[in-house]
Structure formats: C-alpha cells, structure tokens
Amino acid sequence: MSADLNRSVPDLIADLLQQTSNLVRKEVQLARAEMNEKLTTMGAAAASIGVAAALLMAALVILLQGIAALLVTFGLTTWVSSLIVGVVVAVIAYALLRVGMNRMKAASLTPERTVNQVSRDANMAKEAVR
C-alpha cells in the first residue's frame, strides 16, 4: 500500500489512461456481443415475418377467389366476377401505394429535431466563444 502512496503523478496518469483504455475496449466488446445477439434475434423475427407474409398472400388469393365465386352465385359470369374483384383489389393497392410513396418523400425523412438541436448547440457554442 505504501508503494501506491509514493507513485508519481505521471505514473498515476499513465495508469488512469491504461485503465480507461481497457474499460472502453471492454465496453466496445460488450456492445458488439449485445448487437450480435440482437441481430440474431432480429434475423429469426424477420424469417417469421417473411413466412407469415407468404401465408397471408396465399390466404388473400383464396379469399379473393371465394369472393369471385360468390359473385358467380349472384348470376355474374366467371370472367366478370374475376374482373370486378381484380379491379377493386387493384384500386385498393394503388391507394395504399400512393399513401406509402407520399410518406416516403425525402422531406419527410429529414431528422428535423436532430437538425434543430445541432443548430441550437452550434449557436450556443458560438455565443460561449464570444
């Protein structure tokens, strides 16, 4: 213990820097391990979502065929009922596509809060220098 009390300031600073470096290195390793674990979990979730999407598509096709068959029972021909169902689904798909494309415009992707915060921080830094 007396050896620790007699250490010079440069030795203490060097020791502090080494321990800080080790701490940062270990924190980075921990972050990497955690991210790998989370990415593995996300991959499994993405696979489940993909399978569910494929099954939902199959179910949608079957339901649409059922609707077309129902229209046939009301006296329409097969091709007319299929055409009606196809047009209705196409209109719904087009509407959803337009909504999605409007939401994905470049202006809506700008991180406005972050830009405002960075601007405020820059202004504060400029005023602090004055």
pLDDT tens for 10-58 read 888 888 889 988 888 998 888 888 888 888 989 999 999 999 999 999 9
| Single pTM value for the model | 0.55
Q: How far apart are CA 69 and CA 53, in angstroms?
A: 24
Helix or strand or coil: residue 97? helix
| Tokens coding 122 | 């820059």
Neighbour tally for 69: CB within 10 Å: 13
pLDDT at res. 46: 92
CA–CA separation, 91 and 101 (whole Å): 15
Give 24-53 as a 3 state SS string: HHHHHHHHHHHHHHHHHHHHHHHHHHHHHH
Angle between helical axes of 78-103 and 9-73 (0-180°, round to 10): 160
